[in-house]
Structure 1
Amino acid sequence: MIELVAPSSLHGDTRNPRETDPDRLELIRLSLQKFGFLLPIYATSERMLLSGHQRSTAADDLGWLVPVVIGQKNGCDTAGANLTFNRATNDFALTDIDHSRISAADLLKQLASLSDTENRYPCLITERRSVPELLTLNFEKFERYAANAARQLASYGFQMPIIVSAEGEVINGIGRLQDASARQEAEIDCVVLDSSIDPDLVAFALNRLSMDFQFSEPFRDILRSNAYRRSRQRRTSLGSGFLFALGAGRCKDFSPGREAARMRSLYGSRVLDFGAGHGDEAKILRKIGLKVTTFEPYKSNGQKPCVKAGRRTARRFLKTVAEGQTYSSIFLASVLNSVPFPGDRDHIVTICAALASPETVLYAAARSCKDPNWRECSVGIGLGTTAARSARFILKDEPGTAVSELNDAPKIQKFFQPSEFERLFKQRFGSVEIGVHINNVTAICSKPLQIDRKALVDALSFEFDLPYPGGRMGLVCEAIQAFEKRLEVQL
């Protein structure tokens, strides 16, 4: 049921992924004046907005009430729901990252030339129309990704209407129509456009205005804290990051026990596993006689990592740093795929280089753009029908990057080109050898460059103040002191 309420009665999600863009907000305000609320906004039972933050702000500026659907979020992660609304509200194909068939300036001119609507709330009046008949009229618009996005949203307990012309052409919501068909619904709620309204302009205004956003800083922290390895991602064998330098093939065919002597000879006696996940690989390495130091600030046993556990593992690691523990090898086995942003990855490499002696070799591996998961992101079905955790969409700001697991703690996945991997490590190492192993890009790095003290302080300030659902790590001073003692320099 849709309620008309004052915008002030609702509150925004402080973790809303989108930053407010004044120019975009002006377009939204103008589109409301010309078309009204074609779709309602959505909020939790606590009246926290899940969809419609910007439209609510624009309506408040106009002195309007807002049409809102108050519902339970069925245990969904509100961050994931917010992103899913963005996808499900629009008729996106998987690879759609921009709908700029018209410039914002031209759209502003076209909207400004229209008369203001006399009906502020078209979404309050819906018609029940036949799903089979609408499918027949619109079969050329079918998009499985859009349908799966709608399915994901429906799993949260929200059913959005679709927008159609008087003749039954779907202007917005082809995915929602397909999902209704899959659920064998006979009819679906439709908002029918007045014949005086240009349907093409409505379609573009909805899609374009809903699509453009930049991650807000609070949401960037959500993506950082959600970078933990999930409980299903346990390992019973060593991954590519530990095997590629040995010339090994498939991970499951490699026997650490039989190759123990060769591994000890190559990697030395003391190694660091930076970003150790569940610690499964570290246990395997210890069984063959290697002394392994681990660092994993987001270690999880199935629940989201907590700040208390993060501080505990960080302090153990910093103790070894302050004691001057040297490493024959450092491994970045797969962590870089889950580190959300380029600057964050730079910080990790900076810290690893500071921990490397002239004799240390760093071995890094990360999934490449040839990985099947990236192919699914970029050309596949996207939101899979068989596994909700495959919910994902690609980002336009950085190549090879997708947001995945929208249904449960959304996280960034970065897939690398070899040239990107090379640039990442050449900033801090004099020798960088780039290769491939199965679907991974690899790097063997040595000869750490002279430490850039400012860059190291910035890196430590990032890595040892990581965000958690219950606060921040808050160990920056301890980290700087540990590295000062180790390096015998003042940072």
Structure 2
Amino acid sequence: MIKLVPIESIHASDYNPRKNDEKRLHLAELSLRKLGFLLPIYATEDGEILSGHQRTLVAKRIGFEKVPVVYVENRDLKARKGVNLMFNRATNDLAKQDTCEIIKARLYKMDIDSMIDSLPDIDPNSEEAFPCIYRAKHMDVVRLAKKNHRKFNPHIRQLAKALENKVGLMPIVIDPEENVINGIGRLEIAADAKRRVITVVPVTAEQAEFASAMLNLLSMDFDMQSTYADDLRYNSFMRERNTRETDENGNCAFGDGFFKGVWPKARGIDFFTLEGKALETWKKHYGSSVVDFGAGKLNNTRTLRKAGVHCAAFEPYFVTFGGKIHKEKVLEIANEFLDDVESGTPYSTVFISSVFNSVPFIADRKNIAIIASALCYPDGMTACWCQSSQASQFVQTKRKVVTDEKKLTFDLDYEPNVVLGEISGNPKVQKGHTEEEMREIFAPCFDKVDRLDMISKFWYMEVSKPTIDPAALAAALDFEFELPCPDGSRLGLSDRARAVFEHRLGITLPPKGGEENG
């Protein structure tokens, strides 16, 4: 139910990922002046805005005293962030590949002045300013679906369905010919559910083109690097559904990144155990003392240890049942890892297997490469396995309809080939790498690229001749061993990590914060 409430009764969240810019805020202002509120604002019961930040901001500027609001039940912060992200994507009729940059370019090519030339300004405190309340009506779903079915899109439908599961079904906006201007996914799910009627907000013929542009293309850029950066980092943990097959003895299939350098055509199920001739061949290539950096659930670590290979493991986001990060276990794993590093055990290979797939930012991946170089210094190598930009989710193809909300993704554009999934739960980035990006990540800390092969749309890379830059290593350790946790705390091991690597390498790292040694 939409309520008309004082504008002061709602307030912005501090986690909205949209980044305001004045040009588009001016367009948002024009939209309210010429169209009014075609769709309501959504807020929690205590007034925190979930959808409508920019409209509320400009409504205050131009003198709105009241705004139309749908209140949804209060949720915890994690759930509110998920709903906020869903709103930021699912209210526009956008395809998967329609990033902020793409729709902004499309918007800026339009002749907005000609669209609004004949549209008068609306009194912000008149009924005309709130068409979502005073012009809304019910219409027959079948009739509208027959008229608009050619616009149906499985991606838009699934986003609309996911949003409906959180907040209910929003109205749709139509023109005088009953063409859907905004909300085609909402109409489709109503038709699928065989609902008789749906709420529509009609616009005039003169308003239609401008309304379509404002509702579908006017969207601020995502600022994922600040407002959601920590969430994307700790949501990078391995999901339960990604756990590999096990045999009758409970042994887990070997991870691809641990053997593709030797057997590129083999499968993980070929190595539930690593033994005999296969083990000797493996050790000849990778050595008998290795690191599993980003060890997930430690399945590969256990396989190697059972085979008699010395394997040190680091995993900052070890999860238990239900995807809950177990911080006590994380600290136990990290301290055992640092104990092993401090002992001076030489590592012949550092594995970074499937880690870069979900590490959200290139700076973070570079930090991991720097730490890997210090671990295998001076004579070891690092082997990296990660998905390429040629993987199917980064290449536009005709694909089957995504029906699982957890597999629903959309493209981001803060880096090339980045998609965001699980947007209503634990938003997680998936990154596809180009050859240039792989070289860029490892070039500062390894002098030699021994291999860079494309295997089944994944990169397999081996680098050697590691180099040590004390300042870069110090920064990398300060980052990696102070990673954020969902409870707001940090890993809290950077001081120990610094001391351990200084001892191992026989060097002195620059102090934190650029302070001089006393």
What TM-score comes out, normalization by structure 2 length?
0.87
**CA shift for structure 1 position 171:** 0.9
Structure 2 distance, partners of 1:364, 1:216, is: 24
Which stretch shifts more, 394-403 or 417-426? 417-426
Letter in 1 for 2:216: N
- 2:20/2:221 contact within 8 Å kept: no
Letter in 2 for 1:12: A
Structure 1 distance, partners of 2:30, 2:377, is: 60
**CA shift for structure 1 position 383:** 7.0
- Structure 2, unpaired ranges of 5+: 245-251, 510-518
Which string of whole-angstrom CA distances, capped at 9 and with x for unpartnered residues, describes residues 251-280 of structure 1?
Answer: 244232341222222222211000000101
Aligned to 1:317: 337
Structure 2 distance, partners of 1:268, 1:154, is: 53
Which residue of the other structure, out of 275, 294, 298, is the alignment partner of 1:257?
Answer: 275
Superposition map of 1:2-401 within 5 A: 2-64=2-64, 65-72=66-73, 77-97=79-99, 98-99=102-103, 100-103=105-108, 107=112, 114-118=119-123, 119-125=128-134, 126-197=136-207, 199-210=208-219, 212-215=221-224, 217-235=226-244, 236-255=252-271, 256-258=274-276, 259-301=278-320, 302-305=322-325, 307-375=327-395, 378-380=396-398, 384-385=402-403, 387-401=404-418
Determine if the alignment matches structure 1 residue 424 to structure 2 residue 437: no
The residue matched to 1:137 in structure 2 has which SS? Answer: helix
Residues 105 and 168 (structure 1), Cα distance of their counterparts in 2 relative to 1, 3 Å cut: closer
Structure 2 distance, partners of 1:188, 1:460, is: 55
Structure 1 distance, partners of 2:479, 2:331, is: 14
Which string of whole-angstrom CA distances, capped at 9 and with x for unpartnered residues, describes residues 202-234 of structure 1?
Answer: 111222222533325131111111111112322
- 1:226/1:304 contact within 8 Å kept: no
- 1:149/1:383 contact within 8 Å kept: no
The residue matched to 1:408 in structure 2 has which SS? Answer: coil
Determine if the alignment matches structure 1 residue 486 to structure 2 residue 504: yes
Letter in 2 for 1:438: S
**CA shift for structure 1 position 109:** 8.6
- 1:364/1:442 contact within 8 Å kept: yes
Counting matched residue pairs gives: 486
- 2:46/2:74 contact within 8 Å kept: no
**CA shift for structure 1 position 196:** 3.9
Which string of whole-angstrom CA distances, capped at 9 and with x for unpartnered residues, describes residues 332-357 of structure 1?
Answer: 01101010011111111111112222
Determine if the alignment matches structure 1 residue 442 to structure 2 residue 460: yes
Letter in 2 for 1:203: S
Residues 93 and 490 (structure 1), Cα distance of their counterparts in 2 relative to 1, 3 Å cut: same
Residues 317 and 11 (structure 1), Cα distance of their counterparts in 2 relative to 1, 3 Å cut: farther
Letter in 2 for 1:245: G
- CA RMSD of superposed structures (Å): 2.4
Structure 2 distance, partners of 1:5, 1:314, is: 51
Which stretch shifts more, 60-69 or 282-291? 60-69
The residue matched to 2:415 in structure 1 has which SS? Answer: coil
Structure 2 distance, partners of 1:474, 1:292, is: 23
Structure 1 distance, partners of 2:86, 2:232, is: 15
Residues 86 and 253 (structure 1), Cα distance of their counterparts in 2 relative to 1, 3 Å cut: same
Letter in 1 for 2:495: C
Letter in 1 for 2:234: S
Which stretch shifts more, 183-192 or 79-88? 79-88
Structure 2 distance, partners of 1:215, 1:22, is: 19
Structure 2 distance, partners of 1:321, 1:7, is: 58
Q: What percent of counterpart residues are identical?
A: 36
The residue matched to 1:43 in structure 2 has which SS? Answer: strand
- 2:356/2:431 contact within 8 Å kept: yes
- 2:154/2:402 contact within 8 Å kept: no
Which stretch shifts more, 128-137 or 73-82? 73-82
- 1:16/1:218 contact within 8 Å kept: yes
What TM-score comes out, normalization by structure 1 length?
0.92
Which stretch shifts more, 262-271 or 70-79? 70-79
Aligned to 2:422: 405
The residue matched to 2:219 in structure 1 has which SS? Answer: helix
Structure 2 distance, partners of 1:446, 1:212, is: 39
Determine if the alignment matches structure 1 residue 465 to structure 2 residue 482: yes
Residues 109 and 490 (structure 1), Cα distance of their counterparts in 2 relative to 1, 3 Å cut: farther
Structure 2 distance, partners of 1:457, 1:106, is: 52
The residue matched to 1:42 in structure 2 has which SS? Answer: strand
The residue matched to 1:115 in structure 2 has which SS? Answer: coil
Structure 2 distance, partners of 1:410, 1:313, is: 25
Structure 2 distance, partners of 1:85, 1:20, is: 16
- Structure 1, unpaired ranges of 5+: none
Aligned to 2:512: none
Which stretch shifts more, 14-23 or 127-136? 14-23
Structure 2 distance, partners of 1:382, 1:344, is: 33
The residue matched to 1:316 in structure 2 has which SS? Answer: helix
Letter in 1 for 2:456: I
Which string of whole-angstrom CA distances, capped at 9 and with x for unpartnered residues, describes residues 300-336 of structure 1?
Answer: 0133325554444333323333333321110001101
The residue matched to 2:106 in structure 1 has which SS? Answer: coil
Structure 2 distance, partners of 1:319, 1:106, is: 64
**CA shift for structure 1 position 74:** 8.1
